[in-house]
């Protein structure tokens, strides 16, 4: 292989002693391909297995922790013990290929389609009103919030029993944890809302619950990560500065890793920090320091893109769309064939790329999501 890219395949050891065989991780991406009961399908297992041989770790699509947290059609569930065999199939499909398997756990909040949740009862941090004055979601009671925190813990226990190597708490991309952190969707006046510190109560309580379940049910090798968004574009959304406050608190929680959600790795902040010319990654790496590794992500297509990203100081990189476009991305780098990496989706190669029909249809019918569409 080209010596220029040797850092991509060098091993990485987490503080708990778990070693990754290289620095490349499969990012979590919804694939819409489970059955109506929330069970993992054969198509999903083969899709993940096809991409699990070379990368060091696979973070699954998000799985809902309560029935009212289902955010997508074809999403697999982790909300009851009945789902453990389904979860186990996916963990085995990934691990049999040599990658660590991490289950991403979440609640969709106001993003949940009413027809996917019991009685159409969509919930969020506060009441959320639509443009025409209709109520899109109702605010959760404190008792319901406590139940959801418990549910994150129970789904973590199921992940442990199903053989996963870790869980990732999904606090990004506008879902329920994000909704509690955002002043746009959190208008609460109790301990879960108001000040920035209070808006961090729910995310941090979930971290504490998950970590306590891991301490009780798993051995020290079980990983716990947290994914977050850097800021919101709206004027009344949370800023990059707000996120740095959250990230500082998360970094003190002895998490195994933090994972930023970015469309562009090299993007710059909109507001909330002094220097808008520094990248978001620079700010995050400075804030976190050596307390936890940060996984970077966002439009890394070529080997040179990855090389440039590592130059920022980030220790781990997640690839999402690129591993759908070319499942052999890392293999080609290892073999010195980085010039053969495909960076645009070939719409004639669904079968060869082992992509389930629902995900494939979403890709080819969403212009701008994938290069080549």
Q: Which of the four pLDDT bands, split at 50, 70 and 90, describes residue 19?
A: very high
Answer for the pair 258, 285: CB distance below 8 angstroms, yes or no.
no
pLDDT the model gives residue 10: 97
State the CB neighbour count (10 A cutoff) for residue 19.
11
- Cβ atoms of 47 and 83 within 8 Å: the answer is no
Residue 131: band (very low, low, confident or very high) from pLDDT cuts 50, 70, 90:
confident
pLDDT band for 339, please (50, 70, 90 cuts): very high
Assess whether 47 carries a catalytic annotation: no
**Rounded average pLDDT over 33-47:** 97
Architecture of the domain defined by 3-112+145-176+197-364: Alpha-Beta Barrel (3.20)
Q: What share of the chain is helix, strand, coil (3-state, %, to 5)?
A: 40, 15, 45
pLDDT reported for residue 153: 98
pLDDT for 157 equals 98
> Residues 217-240: pLDDT tens digits?
999 999 999 999 999 999 999 999
* Residue ranges of domains in the chain: 3-112+145-176+197-364
The closest alpha carbon to 201, from 163, 145, 257, 244, belongs to: 145
Whats the size of the chain, residue-wise?
Answer: 373
> What pLDDT shows up at residue 58?
98
- Kindly state the helix (H) or strand (E) to which residue 318 belongs, with its residue range: strand 316-319
pLDDT at 73 over 90: yes
Partner residues linked to 296 by β-bridges: 317
**0.85 cut: is pTM over it?**
yes
Under 8 Å between Cβ of 298 and 267: yes
Per residue in 87-109, pLDDT (tens digit) is 999 999 999 999 999 999 999 99
Q: What is the mean pLDDT of the chain?
A: 97
pLDDT of residue 323: 97
DSSP structure string for 254-313: T-SEEEE--SSTT----SSSS-TTS-HHHHHHHHHTTSS-EEEESS--SHHHHHHHHTTT
Q: pLDDT digits over 238-263, tens only?
A: 999 999 999 999 999 999 999 999 99
DSSP 93-155: HHHTTT-EEEEEEE--GGGS-GGGSGGG--EESS-EE-TTS-EEEEEPPHHHHHHHHHHHHHH
The pLDDT of residue 151 is 98
Q: How many CB atoms lie within 10 A of CB 56?
A: 21
Query: Which of 164, 175, 257, 301 is an active site residue?
Result: 175
Distance CA 165, CA 156 (A): 11
Percent of the chain whose pLDDT exceeds 70: 100
Taking each helix axis from N to C terminus, what angle separates 240-251 and 280-288, rounded to the nearest 10 degrees? 30
DSSP 224: E
The DSSP code for 85 is H
- The sign of the torsion formed by the CA atoms of 147, 206, 166, 329 equals positive
> Rounded mean pLDDT of 115-121?
97
């Amino acid at each position: 292989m080209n010596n220029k890219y040797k850092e991509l395949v060098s091993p990485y050891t987490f503080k708990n002693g778990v070693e990754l065989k290289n620095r490349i991780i499969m990012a979590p991406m919804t694939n819409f391909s489970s059955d109506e009961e929330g069970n993992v399908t054969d198509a999903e297992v083969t899709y993940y297995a096809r991409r699990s041989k070379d990368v060091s770790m696979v973070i699954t699509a998000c799985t809902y922790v309560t029935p009212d947290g289902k955010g997508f059609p074809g999403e697999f569930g982790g909300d009851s013990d009945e789902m453990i065999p389904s979860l186990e199939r996916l963990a085995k499909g990934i691990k049999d290929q040599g990658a660590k398997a991490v289950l991403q756990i979440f609640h969709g909040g106001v993003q949940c389609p009413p027809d996917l949740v019991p009685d159409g009862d969509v919930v969020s941090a506060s009441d959320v009103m639509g443009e025409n004055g209709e109520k899109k979601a109702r605010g959760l009671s404190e008792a319901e919030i406590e139940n959801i925190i418990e549910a994150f813990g129970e789904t973590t226990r199921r992940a442990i029993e199903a053989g996963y190597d870790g869980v990732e708490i999904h606090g990004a991309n506008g879902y329920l944890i994000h909704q509690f952190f955002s002043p746009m969707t959190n208008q609460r006046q109790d301990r879960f809302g108001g000040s920035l510190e209070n808006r961090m109560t729910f995310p941090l309580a979930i971290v504490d619950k998950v970590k306590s379940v891991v301490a009780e049910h798993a051995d020290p090798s079980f990983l716990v990560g947290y994914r977050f968004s850097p800021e919101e574009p709206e004027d009344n959304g949370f800023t990059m500065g707000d996120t740095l406050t959250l990230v500082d608190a998360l970094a003190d929680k002895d998490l195994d890793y933090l994972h930023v959600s970015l469309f562009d790795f090299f993007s710059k902040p909109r507001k909330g920090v002094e220097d808008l010319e520094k990248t978001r990654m620079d700010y995050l790496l400075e804030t976190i320091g050596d307390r936890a590794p940060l996984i970077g992500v966002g439009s890394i297509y070529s080997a040179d893109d990855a090389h440039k990203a590592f130059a920022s100081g980030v220790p781990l990189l997640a690839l999402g769309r690129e591993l759908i476009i070319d499942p052999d991305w890392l293999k080609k780098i290892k073999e010195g064939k980085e010039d053969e990496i495909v960076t645009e989706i070939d719409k004639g190669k669904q079968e060869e790329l082992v992509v389930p029909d629902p995900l494939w249809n979403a890709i080819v019918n969403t212009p701008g999501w994938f290069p080549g569409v």
